[in-house]
Structure 1
Amino acid sequence: MKIKWYGQACFRITAENGTRIVMDPYHDMFGYKLPELEAGIVTTSHEHGDHNNVGAISGTFEHIKEAGKFLNAGIEIKGIETFHDKVLGAKRGKNIVYHFKIDGLNVCHCGDLGHLLDCRQMQEIGKVDILLLPVGGTFTLNAADAAKVMKQLSPKIVIPMHYRTKALGKAGIVFEKAEKFVKIAKLNVSMEKELDVSLQDVDKKAGIVILDYK
């Protein structure tokens, strides 16, 4: 599969069979500009403007925006209800964490997760090979809590998201940089334009992968 990041929590995963999954497409804001994307599956973790611009995606797709189990083009998808904050959603509402079974790999997109996982949530998420994890704080997990969630789920590869980049300009001051998470996590780090990974080589690419949003 190929994994491309477009900033904030927006990713496109292209499976070996050609199916494209777009996660949390955003309205143009925070300095990022969403390119033209086509998909067969679109997931949104919650209804904030930097995560729910489904109208920007072209193609005939299934839009998944809730907890439950789904199957599309041979891809198993499970949505697990979590929260956008540490007070059961009282400040920022609910959030859906999505677990995908793609090409034999288990991918977990955390959306705007704002708290550590409880035992039930960890069990529902299950095995994780690749973790797409918010690390920027303020609106999501901060670097320290993100490192704890990483340990809870024990992925082979971690891809940070929702952190400060140059695209954010002055608005980025509210987010922590990815470097803070990297320092706490203490894992090997690689930088990629796009991650091309398979079941056969996932162990060789273990660690933190910083993706370019451009």
Structure 2
Amino acid sequence: MKRRQLIGYAGAGLVATVGTGLVPGLRASQAQTSSGTLSVKWLGHTCFLFTGGGMRILVNPFRPLGCTAGYRSPRVESDLILISSQLLDEGAAEGLPGSPQILFQPGDYEVSGLQFRGISLPHDRVGGRRFGTNVAWQWVQNGINVVHLGGAAAPIEIEQKILMGRPDVVFIPVGGGPKAYNPEEAKQAIAVLNPKMVIPTHFRTRAADEANCDIVAVDEFLGLMEGMPINRVNSDTISIKPSDLPENGSVIKVLNYKF
């Protein structure tokens, strides 16, 4: 599979290409294999800040409108930004503080000793013809294999599953709408990936503009996951260590946005 490496900077509000080519294999760095704590903060919708191993990684910054209207703009310091598409609810990387690097296309990358894999998935149910390509991101940080599915809307194929591996933690959209998994589709994707921990994303909260939001609340997804332990965390932040992960089965963690 041919891949391109595109890395840019956010300072000028534009994504600039500074290099192309394959990283020849994903080598395990000390930051990847260390077993410290990975801090994960939910900033609303599919946006999270991952801190650990000397790296701050911001995924899917958004512009507050529609389903994200009531969330604060995720203006946080980061070293690297990963975006799943250039749609405004998951790819609004302009004007963020500092000069973080940006990854936004499928491919294998190395940044500051960490390896990142962007995996292409359709952003709709018609092969990407409506909303284009969604990039799911896989990386290992502080010994945790993270898979963030972004706004995936199509079933996970065998090649994509191989590229992702078995996630320790998967961040998966569950609220539906035309460009991301609905609750039943999310359940099917979880069955394919068999993650140790599931963190739902892309669901309706009181942040939504009622007239301009077409996704459902997380409870509809949770109601389908009979038999899987569910933990509603009374915080927007969770700390994860490899020893926290179940040896068998999966657990669901629902974070609580602090309005």
Say if 1:44 and 1:174 are closer, same or farther in 2 by CA, change over 3 A. Answer: same
What does residue range 120-139 of structure 1 map to in structure 2 within 5 Å?
120-138=159-177, 139=179
Distance, in Å, in 1 between the alignment partners of 2:85 and 2:153 is: 12
Are 1:29 and 2:95 an aligned pair? Answer: no
Aligned to 1:41: 80
Query: Contact between 2:122 and 2:152, CA under 8 Å: does it hold in 1?
Result: yes
Alpha-carbon offset, residue 50 of structure 1:
1.0
What does residue range 101-120 of structure 1 map to in structure 2 within 5 Å?
101-120=140-159
Unaligned stretches of 5+ in structure 2?
A: 1-37
CA RMSD of aligned residues (A): 1.7
Query: Contact between 1:133 and 1:158, CA under 8 Å: does it hold in 2?
Result: yes
Query: Contact between 1:116 and 1:145, CA under 8 Å: does it hold in 2?
Result: yes
What does residue range 54-93 of structure 1 map to in structure 2 within 5 Å?
54-93=93-132
Distance, in Å, in 1 between the alignment partners of 2:205 and 2:229 is: 20
Query: Contact between 2:61 and 2:74, CA under 8 Å: does it hold in 1?
Result: no
Query: Contact between 2:62 and 2:74, CA under 8 Å: does it hold in 1?
Result: no
Q: SS state of the match for residue 243, structure 2?
A: coil
Q: How many residues align?
A: 213
* Matched letter for residue 189 of structure 1: I
Distance, in Å, in 1 between the alignment partners of 2:83 and 2:206 is: 25
Per-residue CA deviations over 1:93-112 (Å, capped at 9, x if unaligned) read 11101001111111011111
Are 1:18 and 2:77 an aligned pair? Answer: no
Are 1:6 and 2:46 an aligned pair? Answer: no
Aligned to 1:196: 239
Distance, in Å, in 1 between the alignment partners of 2:173 and 2:164 is: 16
* Matched letter for residue 213 of structure 1: Y
Q: TM-score, normalised by structure 1?
A: 0.94
2:189 to 149, 156, 159: 149
Percent of aligned pairs with the same amino acid:
27
Distance, in Å, in 1 between the alignment partners of 2:215 and 2:43 is: 17
Alpha-carbon offset, residue 171 of structure 1:
4.1
Are 1:207 and 2:251 an aligned pair? Answer: yes
Query: Contact between 2:139 and 2:146, CA under 8 Å: does it hold in 1?
Result: yes
Q: Which moved more, 1:167-176 or 1:146-155?
A: 167-176
Are 1:179 and 2:219 an aligned pair? Answer: yes
